[in-house]
Structure 1
Amino acid sequence: MWNATDDGGVGGRVALSGLLLAIAAGGAVDLALDRDAGLLHRAFELLLLALSLGAVAWLWVGWATERRRLASLRAASDATRAERDAWRERAEKLLRGLGAEIDEQLRRWQLSAAEREVALLLLKGFGHKEIAALQGRSERTVRQHAVAVYRKSGLAGRAELSAFFLEDLLLPPPSADA
């Protein structure tokens, strides 16, 4: 369905307005040339002239309203985008800091580079087969690295490894009593 505000741009608005103005001009010329026509004929032509001019005015008011609404939506979108970018920047700083802290803890456990890499992939949720495929190693080698991670860290397994790093990140929501 055609919408008066959906004209495809300025060119469409100008073309449609020009068409309606041409109709109005034609009606005005016809009205001037038909002086001898009856009152009913002249009243009908005046009505067509008024309707054409009214349609042009109505369309331009609608287009102006839509342009203002679009500008408002763009401003809101820009503000939301800026807020998102600021949040992303803050989150990235925190995540970089978290990554550095995780890496530091893995070093404190005196893990080898291969063991640290396996530990990070385990924290990301990868299984032994997936890690082996990613690293181009055998699943047995990956499993041995995982066992070394658990032994050197004093943790019982993958769940405890994840819990070690996530426990403090997942704080309970503040209570109403606090």
Structure 2
Amino acid sequence: MGFAVRDRHIILAALVVQAFCAFFFIGDILSAYIGLRSTPIAWRLREIIEIGAAFGLVLGFVLGAVALYRSRQRHQRAEAKLRVASGVFMELVEDSFVDWGLTPAEREVALFSIKGFSTAEIAGLRGTSEGTIKAQTNAIYRKAGVSGRSQLLSQFIEDLIDDALILEPSRPAEADRTSGLADAQRASMP
């Protein structure tokens, strides 16, 4: 979250600097064209202002490039995490299929079912009848110990969440609370 807020501030700063510089240059051109300024500013002051405005545009460009670079890095990290999660999910699915003793045909039907395909779509993809797919899905649900597609999918999600909680390092506050509960339980034992 800190990076996103910081990048928003960088982008906002870049936009403000660029807008100020653009208004200066446009205002300078319009004032010369319309003749709004009756007394011209000193040449040195004008050069200093133009150099400052040009520097501001370069600064705005650099800030925008930094924000874009950071955004791209976050995107790449998120894609890498998604690939890992996808791999973990598929390992979990394969392990479950082995544990349940699914046949190769049932595995394929189960994968299509998890992906959200309807019975008719699975039958079309596999070149079989809907009755065959219904029989196979019933066998899958029976072997998995669930009553339907939503329970089948939720079983995998629960397993992923359980694995994530096991793999996640415990936070100090949680560790303190857990050790405090364990101490209280030990103290209450005879």
Structure 1 position 4, deviation (Å): 8.0
Aligned to 1:39: none
Please report the RMSD computed on the Cα atoms of aligned residues, expressed in angstroms. Answer: 3.4
TM-score for both structures, normalised by structure 1: 0.61
Aligned pairs for 1:34-49 within 5 A: 47-48=39-40
Q: 1:144 to 1:55 in 2, by over 3 A?
A: farther
TM-score for both structures, normalised by structure 2: 0.58
Structure 1 position 156, deviation (Å): 2.0
The CA distance in 1 between the partners of 2:124 and 2:65, in whole Å, is 46
How many residues end up aligned between the 2 structures?
141
Structure 1 position 115, deviation (Å): 0.9
The superposition leaves residues 105-154 of structure 1 with CA deviations (integer Å, 9 ceiling, x where unpaired) of 11221212221111112112222122223333332222122112122223
Aligned pairs for 1:2-13 within 5 A: 5=21
Aligned to 1:80: 71
Any unmatched runs of 5+ in structure 2?
A: 1-18, 33-37, 166-170, 179-190
Q: Which has the higher contact order (CA 8 A, sep 6+)?
A: 2
The CA distance in 1 between the partners of 2:69 and 2:88, in whole Å, is 29
**Structure whose alpha-carbon radius of gyration is higher:** 1
Aligned to 1:111: 102
Aligned to 2:55: 64
Any unmatched runs of 5+ in structure 1?
A: 7-12, 24-43
The superposition leaves residues 67-115 of structure 1 with CA deviations (integer Å, 9 ceiling, x where unpaired) of 1122112112212221221232133113202211211211221212221
Give the conservation status (yes or no) of the 8 Å contact 1:4–1:59.
no
The CA distance in 1 between the partners of 2:97 and 2:57, in whole Å, is 58
Between the two proteins, what is the percent identity of the paired residues? 24
Aligned to 2:144: 153
